[in-house]
Amino acid sequence: MNKKVNSSEEEWREKLSLNQFRILREKGTEPAFTGEFWNHFEDGQYICAGCDTILFVSDTKFESNCGWPSFSVPADDVIDEKKDVSHGMIRTEVLCKNCGGHLGHVFNDGPKDKGGLRYCINSLSLIFKDKKSNSD
């Protein structure tokens, strides 16, 4: 895992785009079916846009028809989960363990044959590195 990131709000604003800051640092959500990766199925890794930690690999991504990238399982020990009672709902928020960035939420309606979880992640919190560039 990368060295734990503990940046100031000003440093985050310099590093991230306005929309990435809204998602990762202010716990925002991008509209369904608008993110870069909701319908993206190339081989590679999805890394945190805040700190470059590998969060998910492509063989755990699946089509959930929810409008956001969905994964059945994160990479090893890179995710923190926190109870989220905002917006009149009880959900489980998913955060990058390395930088604390808000990624999305996890739900219990994923594929049963893959553990039953659906990590519903904002595209703006991710950067994709294809398999070819990872082997260099």
Q: What is the per-residue pLDDT for 92?
A: 96
User: What strands lie across the sheet with 79-84, from one edge to the other?
Assistant: 61-62, 70-71, 118-121, 102-107, 91-96, 79-84
Cα-Cα-Cα-Cα dihedral of 12, 86, 31, 44, to 10°? Answer: 60
Residue 111 β-bridge partners: none
Domains of the chain, earliest start first: 9-131 (2.170.150.20)
**pLDDT tens track, the chain, 136 positions:** 566 888 999 999 999 999 999 999 999 999 999 999 999 999 999 999 999 999 999 999 999 999 999 999 999 899 999 999 988 889 999 999 999 999 999 999 999 999 999 999 999 999 999 987 655 5
pLDDT reported for residue 131 = 81
> Hey, which residues are catalytic here?
120
pLDDT at 133: 66
Q: What angle do CA 58, 11, 52 make, to 5 degrees?
A: 20
Neighbours of 20 (CB within 10 A): 21
d(CA 101, CA 121): 12
